[in-house]
Chains A and B, each alone.
Chain A
């Protein structure tokens, strides 16, 4: 079975802190994705990556950056956390574009 793991289930940070969210997949998938999930808004794509060192902006990239130095690892970075970035963050991976994505359990981030 594909396994997507995220470094933390719950995280509490202060405004202005730099935050790293890590995601690792163990199935050699080329594609990796970061979403945020908010009540009533569904999932919104922040960034995605189709290959190592490659990244593409999603629908809401402002305030975020990403890093993909290795195929299995995709990191989401909040350069200066703000309270409006309090959310559930979901990482996903897939073998191709049209196949289903596999999701990690999510990181619930609270920015105070």
Chain B
């Protein structure tokens, strides 16, 4: 069965500094991995997804993530944080071989950006 662990419940960075949100996954087979963002009082929006193509995935708003099979990680990064990046971020895994397996969500990382 697949699972996902977001290693930090809260990350705080200064505006203009790099962002790193960490995610480790567990999956029996070849996973699909996603990062979603949720701004206050809004629904979830897809940032990026990995589905066994290039291991470095670029998403919206300057975010990217790298799939590292040897480390079972899919960390989310951004070179320079902006105030508008303050939100909750969810790492998500889905198991490709299991067919219609629903997505499994991490517990979320709240990103704060300090001016």
Contacts and interface: CB of A to CB of B under 8 A. Distances in A.
Do A and B make up one complex?
Answer: yes
Interface of A: 4, 31, 33, 35, 40-45, 48, 50, 58, 90, 92, 97-98, 100-106
Interface stretch (B20-28, B42-50, B60-68, B72-80): B42-50
How big is chain B's contact interface, by range?
20 to 34
A42 B107 contact: yes
B109 to A, nearest CB: 10
A103 B92 CA distance: 14
Contacts of B99: 97
Contacts, number: 49
Contact of A40 (B9, B32, B34): B9
A58 B102 contact: yes
A26 to B, nearest CB: 15
A45 B94 CA distance: 13
A50 B44 CA distance: 21
B43 A90 contact: yes
B43 A104 contact: yes
B43 A100 contact: no
Interface of A is mostly: strand
A33 B101 CA distance: 12
A98 B2 CA distance: 14
Contacts of A90: 43-44
Interface of B: 9, 32, 34, 36, 41-46, 49, 51, 90, 94, 96, 99-103, 105-108
B42 A42 contact: no
Nearest to A50: B100
Given A98-B32, A98-B96, A42 B105 contact: yes
Contacts of A33: 102
Given A40-B107, A42-B107, A97 B44 contact: no
**Most A CB within 10 A of own CB, among B100, B102, B107:** B102
